[in-house]
Amino acid sequence: MQNIPNEEMAAVWNGVSGRAWVDEQALLDRAYEPIEQLLVEAVAATGARKVLDIGCGSGATTLAVASSLGSRGQATGVDISEPLISVARTRAQREASPAQFIRADAQTHPFQPASFDLMISRFGVMFFDDPAAAFANLRRAASPGGALRLVVFRSIAENPFMTTAERAAAPLLTGLPPRKPNAPGQFAFADAERVRRILEESGWSGVEFAPLDIACIIPAADLERFFTRLGPLGQVLRDADEATRQRVIREVRAAFAPYLRDGEVRFTAACWMISARAG
């Protein structure tokens, strides 16, 4: 049987999970707006004119970069999810933005060689089944001396908010998928030395990791949607009976109490800003 790169992730992001992220795009964009701003600032700091946003999702960061560049450059987003790219294109049309979007797997897509002087990502690069192959492919698309700026999560231990829902729900549910170190997923790029090796073997140099602790906020009124629709718990709850679902919701909502203040859910995203250059 032929091995199709990222087949599992393609199924996830073009299926129910991708549609859930479409439905919750406003919530997620609000939560991660500080990271979007960091990447827009990175574009300005590098003087980049041709920018690729890897794993762009519904396009918020790509659109913000396009707005910052104006007529001086071009922002392009790439994502494996058709539902998310469709939303991104609709947003660009609505905003009369010049941002462009490609529905493709960045691990294998035949980008024009040397066509981007900066590649960025907001939590979009941790899902490749062969990250070395993916970053070698992206390296070919980078112009000589082109830059890389990626925001990824650090370890599970440093991001307790992100696993609160599944930890609280575990005694009430079976089938919650385990978190596998280094497997494609949210924390796949937590190990800095492993990621350094991947990037250097893929032709990137000057690899640096800067720890970021980013304050994020979502409205308390949106908390239940956040944990019932997204992440591992969201996947399992879709198939739970209503009585179980309500028990889980009560337990999980209580577990988030330490993060609630003044009508908001406040948490820290412990991240790396990964920098590298092509050459």
What are the pLDDT digits (tens) for 61-70?
A: 999 999 999 9
Average pLDDT value over all residues in the chain: 95
In 59-130, alpha helices (H): 60-69, 82-94
Residue 228 lies in a domain: no
Residue 70: which residues within 8 A CB-CB, separation 6 or more? Answer: none
pLDDT at 39 over 60: yes
What pLDDT shows up at residue 74? 98
Q: What is the pLDDT of residue 175?
A: 79
User: What does the pLDDT read at residue 231?
Assistant: 86
Tell me what the mean pLDDT of segment 247-276 comes to: 97
Residue 121 in contact with residue 54, Cβ under 8 Å? yes
* DSSP-H helix ranges across 159-230: 160-169, 192-201, 223-229
Eight-state DSSP code of residue 263 = T
Residue 2 pLDDT > 70, yes or no?
Answer: no
Going by C-alpha positions, the residue among 260, 46, 34 that lies closest to residue 145 is 46
Q: Which helix (H) or strand (E) holds 20?
A: helix 16-23
Q: What pLDDT does 12 receive?
A: 87
More confident residue, 55 or 233: 55
Does any domain span residue 253? no
194-215 per-position pLDDT tens digit: 999 999 999 999 999 999 999 9
Q: Is the separation of the CB atoms in 18 and 81 below 8 Å?
A: yes
Question: Taking Cα atoms as reference points, which of 124, 125, 123, 116 lies closest to residue 74?
Answer: 116
Mean pLDDT in residue range 264-278: 98
Assigned domain for 227 exists = no
Q: Tell me, what's the pLDDT at 16?
A: 84
Query: What's the pLDDT at 157?
Result: 96
Q: Assess if residue 27 is contained within a domain.
A: yes
pLDDT exceeds cutoff 80 at 226: yes
**Residues 7-35, mean pLDDT to the nearest whole number:** 91
CA distance 218 to 215: 11
AA letter at 247 = R
Please indicate, yes or no, if residue 190 is contained in any of the structural domains: yes
Domain total of the chain: 1
Q: Label residue 5 by pLDDT band (50, 70, 90).
A: confident
For the stretch 159-187, pLDDT in tens is: 999 999 999 999 998 878 888 888 999 99
Q: Which domain holds residue 211?
A: 7-155+180-216+269-278
Whichever domain contains 111, its CATH number is 3.40.50.150
Q: Is residue 234 part of a domain?
A: no
**pLDDT over 70 for what percent of the chain?**
99
> Is the residue at 195 inside a domain?
yes
pLDDT band at 79 (very low <50, low <70, confident <90, very high): very high
The confidence score (pLDDT) of residue 255 equals 98
Give the pLDDT confidence of 108-142 residue by residue, as tens digits: 999 999 999 999 999 999 999 999 999 999 999 99
Which pLDDT belongs to residue 1?
41
Assess if residue 110 is contained within a domain: yes
